[in-house]
């Protein structure tokens, strides 16, 4: 199962489109009714400024339209995103199961 909070927004595209138009972040913020910090987070990653991943993805599509880009390509489809994550998950599980557990000493004794 994939992480529902995983970032599927392709911020590098938004950044590339904005820079190619020589548009400052503050100007795009005014046009889009988003904050400068939110635009920076859309371009660079993170989710703390958006209530849900769906809201962030919607904002990314809105910026894509404003910048003349294709809104459909700015958010990775869930199937593609999950396919990218699977090898990492398998590697992590293999690594975890390959480690031997080390017995721990009790930190306190209860009587």
Predicted pLDDT at 46: 84
What string of pLDDT tens digits covers the 111 residues of the chain? 445 556 899 999 999 999 999 999 999 999 999 999 999 999 998 888 998 888 999 999 999 999 999 999 999 887 654 444 445 555 565 556 665 555 555 555 555
Cα distance between residue 12 and residue 30, in whole Å = 20
**What domains sit in the chain, N to C, each tagged with a CATH number?**
1-70 (1.10.260.40)
Predicted pLDDT at 62: 96
Look at residues 3, 23, 81, 106 and name the one whose alpha carbon lies nearest to residue 43: 23
CA–chain centroid gap for 103, Å, is 37
Predicted pLDDT at 45: 87
Kindly give, in sequence order, each residue whose CB lies less than 8 Å from that of residue 4, ignoring residues fewer than 6 positions away: 53
Give the predicted TM-score (pTM) of the model. 0.66
């Amino acid at each position: 199962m994939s992480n529902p909070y995983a970032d599927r927004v392709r911020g590098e595209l938004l950044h590339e489109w904005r820079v190619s138009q020589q548009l400052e972040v503050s100007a795009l913020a005014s046009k889009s009714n988003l904050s400068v910090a939110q635009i920076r987070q859309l371009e660079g990653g993170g989710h703390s400024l958006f209530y849900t991943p769906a809201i962030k993805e919607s904002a990314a599509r809105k910026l894509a339209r404003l910048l003349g880009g294709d809104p459909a390509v700015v958010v990775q489809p869930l199937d593609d995103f999950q396919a990218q994550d699977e090898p990492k998950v398998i590697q992590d599980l293999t690594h975890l199961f390959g480690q031997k557990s080390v017995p721990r000493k009790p930190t306190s004794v209860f009587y």
